[in-house]
């Protein structure tokens, strides 16, 4: 009897710990929204999202240039990263030998472990002067951010698409080979399409990571408050807007930064849920 | 489901592997004991000695001089430990109001709603316009500065026809920064800084970019000036604060602002001692050596 | 084009992509090592920074990093392992597990800056902890929780059912089975997760700078502010305080990260070997 009580007690405690992650998520949502929403309502949802001017010292809060900036940088990062990551994952999953895989895969995963500040700093000291001297503009640009972010999200997209490719049953490959296809044709026509939704989910999660990255972006983006129209234009993203001004912000200004966080949070959650959906469909 | 799990396992994946090394219950207990011991170490490590702590937070412009002063102060008063934190002027005001810090640092004058805070002027600081040392320009007018920051002038050869520099890289601080506030008030007036200007969130990073970009112009606190950048004369007056006294400030170099310590109550104890030290001969010498104008 | 030639070209392009990924990694490591190795001495590691990091070493930053990583993994491990035990041993797929999984998946995707904002309002402002290592560690706890949950879950799942059944048939209760049979088997996997969490705490900047602050002095308790290695690197590199010291700090960071990756990789390989025998 005593033991049964103890067991029941333990299971309740474990349930509590299990609820910690969802509890954390709820806390984050509640606090970010509670701090951020008042400014959005005060400015008006439409004005906050689609207005052009961000002048906290005059109480003007509109973040369209930052939203545009985040998406521009994300798109650039995907252009750099997706072809690269797909090649890496296809190579690792389908063509690499055991030893090659044992070296290359952890190396690519290590790329994810390098702190983002280190990427940002190398971007500033190497990439920014390179762009200024050889391509144009002042170096702080969408282009620079795209390249660095592309490298940073490479491991995410590679390792998830790798898993998706490995999950394709061998019968697909064997079937294609039996029909006289080369291994490359088998991969191109049977394996990659079969892993399609896994790869799409990998790209969506990569997008989320690119939009959410802060420290590297703040160092390379230039943080100008304009909508970037060329790859050489400087840019300010949602994340860098928060990190840049948080230190000095107070009152309404700080709330407006939380409101920026709210928009960022919503975009990221939408991407996460989209990725989950894509995967669930694939599993069925 | 497997793939789904995998997806969110960030970049590391494990389920291809089975964890089947046998760890005996004994070593399991040893590990738990180790973890608990280290918890105790972490919780109990705080020193038992009687040190007084002083938390100072706020403006990154005031931070360098505050660090310098506190380093020397702590050598003389080993029983007082001063922690200095950046964050910005507004964070400094907030920290002083909320009590998150004993002293807040601000590099701008207080606005009306903050005026009930007790202020202590550490020193006065000049804001200097900086360019790359390879840029041959020496003097700039306030009107030219306004035009550059509004993007009405975008090339260096419009300022000086013989200049070898190209398109101007305009650097500004982020909205809310004390340095930017002072710059806008003292130089820009009603003219707005253009949205195209590059924005950086610290004096140091502005200085670093100017040091590496021959076309760049920015503004920083005089106290943060170093060999890697060149300070411009504004309207023909070189910012040489070492020769300034408090009374000279308004007559000579016009671009000047106070560095403030803020506190909710009248400062006492360690805070008072630190402030007395700042006013002492030694403190004044340190302030002068950093290129700031001491309060006498 | 002949399909054999096509295959050859395609495979070479794929190989080139993989090689360039490695080239990028090598470039980052060699670049930092080349610029930083000159200043990386014993005194640099064991001396405290002076003059805002312009002089001296990084000892206080190493201490702060240690506190932050140790504290956050100490709080996150019981929570994460508890969650994993609950998911694997106490329940079948249900609404509760769905919610728990949703929470952990979403938490894994939340950007670090959001954690920073959240930690700042909740711990620094609302709970009045101020900028301190505890605030930073609590924030990091939430960040590394999903990693620990996932790895522990995989580790616990991989313990064979025969063992559990044997334990139950001997009359052991569920909790006894878990603590005496399942967990000891799963410990290596759990440790891997914890080490990965430590890796994230070490390399994180955005969330830490808003919550643990950036005071340079050696923290004497977890209620004091501290500047971790990543934050120290960010500040002295960004503000151009000392390039040599910035690179040396980055080198120390990268060495830590390399060690962590090598350890986890070695642990995993050991499991594969263990599985085969």
ipTM reported for the complex, 2 dp: 0.92
pLDDT of residue C172: 86
Structural domain harbouring B230: 126-256
**A156 reaches B (C-beta below 8 A):** yes
d(CA B108, CA B87): 14
A54-283 topology per CATH: MetI-like fold (1.10.3720)
CA angle A164, A169, A171 (to 5 degrees): 145
Distance from CA of C217 to the nearest CA of B (A): 7
pLDDT of residue B115: 80
**B155 reaches A (C-beta below 8 A):** no
Does B208 lie in the same domain as B172? yes
Question: Residue B14: which of C70, C154, C241 has the nearest Cβ?
Answer: C154
Does B236 lie in the same domain as B172? yes
In-domain check, residue C270: yes
Question: Residue B91: which of A243, A247, A282 has the nearest Cβ?
Answer: A247
In order of A125, B17, B49, C227, the CA distances from B38 in angstroms are 40, 30, 21, 21
d(CA C208, CA C265): 27
d(CA B125, CA A84): 51
Does B250 lie in the same domain as B141? yes
pLDDT of residue B47: 43
Give tens-digit pLDDT for C155-169. 898 888 888 888 888
Number of domains in chain C: 1
Instruction: Report whether C215 contacts C226 (CB < 8 A).
Output: yes
In-domain check, residue C6: no
Q: Which residues make Cβ contacts (< 8 Å) with residue A90, sequence separation at least 6?
A: A161, A165, A187, A192, C14
Q: What is the mean pLDDT of residues A54-64?
A: 88
User: β-strands B216-221, B198-200: how paired?
Assistant: unpaired
For residue C126 the two structure tokens come to 């609302």
Q: What is the mean pLDDT of residues A203-208?
A: 94
**C96 reaches A (C-beta below 8 A):** yes
pTM, rounded to two decimals? 0.85
Token pair 């795209």 in the structure block, residue: A146
Q: Please state, rounded to an integer, the average pLDDT across all residues of chain C.
A: 88
| Average pLDDT per block of 10 residues along chain B, 296 residues long | 41 38 53 62 48 84 87 88 80 82 86 83 88 90 92 88 84 86 86 92 90 92 85 82 59 76 87 91 86 79
In-domain check, residue B246: yes
- In this predicted structure, the answer to whether residue C46 has a pLDDT above a threshold of 80 is yes
Structural domain harbouring C249: 40-276
For residue C85 the two structure tokens come to 């035990």
Instruction: Report whether B70 contacts C217 (CB < 8 A).
Output: no
d(CA C55, CA B124): 26
> Cβ contact (<8 Å) for A111 and C105?
no
Closest residue by Cα to residue B150 from B172, B128, B126: B172
What torsion, rounded to 10 degrees, do the Cα atoms C260, A24, A254, A153 define?
A: 40
In-domain check, residue C35: no
Question: Residue B4: which of A57, A159, A283 has the nearest Cβ?
Answer: A283
> Cβ contact (<8 Å) for A122 and C237?
no
Closest residue by Cα to residue C107 from A25, B119, B56: A25
In-domain check, residue C27: no
**B207 reaches C (C-beta below 8 A):** yes
Q: Which residues make Cβ contacts (< 8 Å) with residue A190, sequence separation at least 6?
A: A168, A172, A173, A175, A176, A181
Does B184 lie in the same domain as B77? no
Q: Which residues make Cβ contacts (< 8 Å) with residue B128, sequence separation at least 6?
A: B219, B220, B221, B222, B225, B231, B232, B239, B255
pLDDT of residue A282: 67
Question: Residue B28: which of C159, C183, C217 has the nearest Cβ?
Answer: C183
Instruction: Report whether C251 contacts C235 (CB < 8 A).
Output: no
Instruction: Report whether C64 contacts C233 (CB < 8 A).
Output: no
Residue C247's pLDDT band (boundaries 50, 70, 90)?
A: very high
Q: What is the mean pLDDT of residues A72-82?
A: 96
Q: What is the CATH number of the domain that holds B161?
A: 3.40.190.10
Token pair 């914890």 in the structure block, residue: C194
Does B132 lie in the same domain as B10? no
Number of domains in chain B: 3
CA C190 distance to own-chain centroid: 13
Closest residue by Cα to residue B195 from A218, A248, A52: A52
pLDDT of residue C116: 94
Cβ burial of A1 (10 Å; 0-12, 13-18, 19+) is exposed
Backbone angles phi, psi at B158, to 5 degrees: -80, -20
C-alpha R_g of chain C = 22
> Cβ contact (<8 Å) for C74 and B20?
no
Closest residue by Cα to residue C249 from A121, B209, B204, B67: A121
d(CA B208, CA B213): 9
In-domain check, residue C13: no
Cβ burial of B47 (10 Å; 0-12, 13-18, 19+) is exposed
Give tens-digit pLDDT for A254-273. 899 999 999 999 999 999 99
In order of A49, B217, B221, the CA distances from B206 in angstroms are 29, 9, 11
pLDDT of residue B40: 54
Distance from CA of B173 to the nearest CA of A (A): 9
> Cβ contact (<8 Å) for B6 and A244?
no
CB contact burial A46-60 (16+ within 10 A = b; e otherwise): ebbeebeebebeeee
pLDDT of residue B245: 63
d(CA C147, CA C142): 10
Does B36 lie in the same domain as B14? yes
Does B277 lie in the same domain as B227? no
Q: What is the CATH number of the domain that holds C164?
A: 1.10.3720.10
d(CA B64, CA B292): 11
Distance from CA of C4 to the nearest CA of B (A): 33
- In this predicted structure, the answer to whether residue A143 has a pLDDT above a threshold of 60 is yes
Q: Which residues make Cβ contacts (< 8 Å) with residue B90, sequence separation at least 6?
A: A247, A248, A249, A250, A253, A254, B176
Distance from CA of B76 to the nearest CA of A (A): 31
pLDDT of residue B18: 39
Question: Residue A129: which of B88, B93, B212 has the nearest Cβ?
Answer: B212
**C17 reaches A (C-beta below 8 A):** yes
**C13 reaches A (C-beta below 8 A):** yes
The segment with the largest mean pLDDT, out of A228-237, B177-186, C93-102, is A228-237
Give tens-digit pLDDT for A20-31. 989 999 999 999
Which of B291 and C203 is assigned the larger pLDDT? C203
- In this predicted structure, the answer to whether residue A243 has a pLDDT above a threshold of 50 is yes
> Cβ contact (<8 Å) for B205 and C239?
yes
Q: Please state, rounded to an integer, the average pLDDT across all residues of chain A.
A: 91
Which of C185 and A211 is assigned the larger pLDDT? A211
For residue B28 the two structure tokens come to 């399991």
pLDDT of residue A268: 95
In-domain check, residue B17: yes
Token pair 């308004």 in the structure block, residue: B250
In-domain check, residue B19: yes
Q: H helices within B45-141, ranges in order?
A: 63-76, 89-98
């Amino acid at each position: 009897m005593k033991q049964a009580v103890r067991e029941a007690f333990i299971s309740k405690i474990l349930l509590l710990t299990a609820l910690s992650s969802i509890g954390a998520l709820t806390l984050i949502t509640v606090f970010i929204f509670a701090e951020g929403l008042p400014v959005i309502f005060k400015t008006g949802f439409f004005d906050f999202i689609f207005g052009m001017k961000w002048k906290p010292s005059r109480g003007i809060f509109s973040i369209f240039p930052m939203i545009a900036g985040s998406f521009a940088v994300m798109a650039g990062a995907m252009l750099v990263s997706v072809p690269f990551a797909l090649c890496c994952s296809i190579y690792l999953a389908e063509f690499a030998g055991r030893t090659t895989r044992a070296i290359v895969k952890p190396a690519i995963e290590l790329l994810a472990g390098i702190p983002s500040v280190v990427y940002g700093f190398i971007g500033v000291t190497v990439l920014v002067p390179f762009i200024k001297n050889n391509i144009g503009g002042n170096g702080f640009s969408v282009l620079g951010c795209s390249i660095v972010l592309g490298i940073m999200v490479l491991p995410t997209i590679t390792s998830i698409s790798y898993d998706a490719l490995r999950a394709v049953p061998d019968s697909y490959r064997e079937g294609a080979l039996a029909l006289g296809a080369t291994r490359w044709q088998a991969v191109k026509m049977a394996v990659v399409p079969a892993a399609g939704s896994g790869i799409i989910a990998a790209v969506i999660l990569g997008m989320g990571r690119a939009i959410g990255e802060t420290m590297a972006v703040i160092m390379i983006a230039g943080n100008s408050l304009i909508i970037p129209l060329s790859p050489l234009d400087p840019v300010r993203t949602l994340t860098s807007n928060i990190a840049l001004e948080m230190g000095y912000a107070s009152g309404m200004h700080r709330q407006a930064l939380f409101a920026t966080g709210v928009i960022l949070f919503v975009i990221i959650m939408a991407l996460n849920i989209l990725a989950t959906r894509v995967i669930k469909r694939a599993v069925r | 489901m497997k793939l789904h799990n995998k997806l969110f396992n960030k970049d590391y994946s494990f389920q291809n592997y089975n964890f089947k090394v046998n760890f005996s219950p004994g070593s399991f207990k040893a590990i738990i004991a180790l973890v608990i011991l280290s918890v105790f170490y972490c919780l109990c490590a705080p020193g038992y000695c009687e040190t007084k702590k002083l938390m100072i937070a706020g403006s990154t412009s005031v931070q360098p001089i505050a660090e310098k002063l506190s380093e020397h102060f702590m050598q003389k008063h080993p029983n007082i430990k001063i922690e200095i934190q950046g964050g910005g002027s507004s964070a400094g005001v907030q920290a002083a109001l909320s009590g998150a810090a004993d002293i807040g640092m601000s590099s701008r004058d207080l606005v009306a709603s903050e005026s009930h805070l007790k202020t202590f002027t550490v020193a006065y600081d000049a804001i200097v316009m900086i360019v790359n040392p390879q840029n041959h320009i020496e003097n700039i007018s306030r009107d030219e500065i306004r035009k550059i920051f509004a993007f009405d002038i975008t090339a260096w050869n419009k300022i000086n026809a013989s200049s070898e520099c190209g398109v101007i890289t305009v650097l500004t601080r982020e909205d809310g920064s004390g340095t930017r506030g002072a710059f806008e008030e003292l130089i820009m007036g009603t003219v707005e800084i253009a949205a195209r200007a590059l924005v950086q969130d610290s004096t140091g990073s502005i200085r670093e970019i100017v040091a590496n970009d021959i076309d760049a112009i920015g503004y920083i606190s005089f106290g943060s000036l170093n060999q890697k950048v060149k300070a411009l004369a504004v309207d023909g007056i070189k910012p040489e604060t070492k020769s300034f006294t408090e009374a000279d400030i308004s007559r000579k170099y016009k671009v000047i602002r106070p560095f403030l310590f803020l506190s909710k109550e009248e400062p006492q104890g360690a805070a008072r001692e630190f402030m007395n030290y700042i006013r002492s001969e030694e403190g004044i010498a340190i302030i002068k050596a950093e290129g700031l104008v001491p309060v006498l | 084009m002949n399909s054999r030639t096509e295959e050859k070209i395609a495979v070479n392009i794929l190989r080139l992509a993989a090689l360039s990924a490695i080239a990028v990694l090598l470039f980052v490591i060699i670049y930092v090592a080349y610029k930083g190795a000159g200043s990386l001495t014993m005194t640099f590691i064991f001396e405290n920074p002076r003059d805002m990091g312009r002089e001296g070493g990084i000892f206080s930053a190493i201490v702060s990093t240690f506190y932050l990583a140790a504290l956050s993994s100490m709080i996150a491990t019981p929570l994460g392992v508890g969650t994993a035990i609950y998911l694997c041993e106490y329940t079948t797929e249900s609404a509760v597990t769905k919610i728990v999984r949703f929470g952990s998946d979403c938490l894994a995707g939340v950007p670090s800056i959001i954690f920073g904002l959240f930690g700042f309002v909740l711990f620094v402002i609302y709970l009045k902890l101020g900028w301190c290592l505890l605030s930073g560690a609590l924030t990091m706890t939430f960040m590394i929780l999903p990693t620990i949950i996932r790895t522990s879950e995989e580790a616990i799942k991989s313990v064979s059912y025969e063992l559990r059944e044997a334990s139950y048939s001997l009359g052991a209760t569920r909790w006894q089975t878990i603590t005496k049979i399942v967990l000891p088997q799963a410990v290596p996997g759990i440790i891997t997760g914890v080490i990965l969490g430590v890796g994230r705490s070490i390399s994180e900047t955005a969330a830490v700078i808003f919550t643990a602050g950036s005071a340079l002095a050696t923290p004497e308790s977890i209620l004091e502010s501290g500047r971790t290695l990543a934050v120290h690197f960010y500040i002295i590199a960004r503000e151009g305080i000392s390039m040599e010291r910035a690179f040396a700090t980055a080198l120390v960071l990268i060495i830590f990260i390399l060690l962590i990756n090598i350890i986890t990789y070695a642990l995993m390989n050991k499991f594969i070997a263990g599985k085969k025998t």
